[in-house]
Structure formats: C-alpha cells, structure tokens
Amino acid sequence: MIRLFICFFLFITGCFTIRAQQPGPAQPPSFNYKKLPSGLQYAFIMDKPGTTKPEEGGLVKLHMQSVCNNRILYSTVMAFKGKPGEFGVAKPAFKGDLIEAIMLMTPGDSIVCLVDADALFKNAKTKMPDFIKKGDKVQYFVKLVSMKSKDQVMKEQQAAFQKQIQEQMAKQKAEAAKQAVKDEKLLKAYFTKNKLSPIKTASGMYYTIREAGTGDSARNGDSVSMNYTGRLLDGTKFDSNEDTAFHHVQPFQFVLGRGMVIRGWDEGVALLKQGSKATFYIPSGMAYGAQARPGSGANPKGIPANSILIFDVELLRVNHPAAPPAPAVKDSLPEVKTDSLTEKN
C-alpha cells in the first residue's frame, strides 16, 4: 500500500516529467470552475449521488493525471499500470492543496482542479521545472474509485498487525521446536560421552544433585543467595562468582519465580533445599534462545545463539518473605452515643 500525503502526489517521491506525445487529455470546451476560500479552483465532471466523503486518516483509490503547459507531470495509468493508485489522506499542506477538492468527492465522482504551481512546488521542496512559470496552474483530472474511512484503515492495520504477530509467534514456535529436538540430541550425546545420568524435568531441562541440602526448600517469592559457575557444552567457562577472573565474587541474589533470571534457573533452583549443590543442564530455549550474549575479558567467546548452558550451583541461603501483619480486630460492641441517653427524674 502506498502511503503518501495527497498534498503532493507527484513530486515528493521524485516526480518524472515527460512531454506528451499527443495533445493533453480530452477536455470539455470549458469548465464552470468554483473557487474555495483557499483559492483552489475545481469543477465536477461527474457528480455521482452519495454522502460519504474522504476523511483525514483514511485511504482513497483514484485515477489521476496532472498536466501543465501541455506536459503530463504524473499519471496513475503509468505509475500503477492502468490500476488506480491508493493514497493516504492527510491534512492540506498549503492553501489550495488538491486534497481540499478530493475531500468534496464521493466514490464515482470525477473532477478537474487548478492548483497554483508556485505553492505546489514550494511545499514539495522540489525545484519547479523550467517550462512552468510563476503564476501557472497545474491542472488535475481526478476520478475517485473507492475510499476507506479512518476507522476502516485502523481496523485493517490492527488486523494486519495481529496477523503479523501471530505469524511471527508461529514461526518462532516452530523454530524453537526444531531447536529443542537438536538440543536434546546434543545433551544425550554429552551425557553418554561423560557417563552421566541426570534427571529430566517435564520442561526438558536436566539436573543432578551433587550434594543434598538440609535447609528449607526454595519456593517462588523467596529471596535466594547462590554461588555458581556457568559453562558451555564445549567446556568454555562464560561466567562465575567463584572465579576472580570474572571480577564478581560476591554471592548472587535474586527473588525466585519473578523472571529475574533465565527460565532454567527459576525452575532448577526451585528443586533445591538450602545447602544443596547441583548441576543444571539447560536447553537453549530455557536459557537465552537465539539471542547471543557478548563476551568479556575472561570469556571473549561470549554465549553464542542457541547455546545449551551448564551451571554448577550452590544454594547458600533461602529467605522466605515476611508474612503480612494480621488485620486489626475491631471491638464487636456497638458504639453508644451519649446524647441518645435521657435521665428520668
């Protein structure tokens, strides 16, 4: 769909000018022009019955030709191979802009307009051709084929946007499914090579408990403190708070189940008790997916896209959130108003 300001159909995208091989388009001997307050002159050639007119923010489909001094400046017949052009409707860019007349039309109407060439080229920010002189008028012949209201355009745009999102999500889902199959094969090969028998979760990640903790179990909403070392499947160490080369040796803290870490961590840490040491084998879809991560001095390689991640972790501390205070209990006795009491003698 072509989105142009109708204020300048011809030159805003780089107009072309050709010399007409034949005299200009057939014209009635004369036109009974009317003039708008802006100075734009127009006359209806065909005035079909109708009340629905173009509005700002809508779209119009039309056939159009512009002529000046016996030269064709623009033609939808040539630009769109005989089909009507589709244009967005915008506010007039200047007094006497063509759009002022088009907004008087209804589908099926045809008009002829005279637009001041000086104002036209000034607002088009294009040098006026030598064959057009100051004071000349550009003559437009316009037939409005069809139109869409602003609401129709917005609904169609929203529908197209939703369709695009759905298609993109479906594509991502299909790609993720393919990557999950690939990750599973790589993980199984790794386990076989290293003679490992980790536990698989329903989501597809694997883990082993190297040392069982005896403290509280970690639950969503708990603040947890961790030691960790992360490696790629090829053994490349990409991060660690136990290796001084990565320049952060303090325990890593986060709130479990809030999406503050990759999905594999949220799920894996929830399997542990305080004091546990474990290893997580996290498929790429539960890590960074197709998004690569930049490297550092200690790991120039970074984390390539679709990487399986291995983490050796230790759950140092589990802090349960404090329970909210109990609501205050109101006195159940009714309030007695002293002014309602009377003393009897």
Cα(19)–Cα(28) distance, rounded to whole angstroms?
22
Contact 62, 76 (CB under 8 A): yes
CA distance 41 to 260: 65
Six token digits for residue 177: 């499914």
CA distance 129 to 309: 65
Distance, CA of 233 to CA of 307 (rounded, Å): 8
**Number of CB atoms found within 10 A of residue 183's CB:** 24
Decide if 313 contacts 268 (C-beta within 8 A). Answer: yes
Q: Which sequence positions are flagged as catalytic?
A: 228, 238-239, 262, 288, 311
- Calpha distance 171→164 (Å, rounded): 10
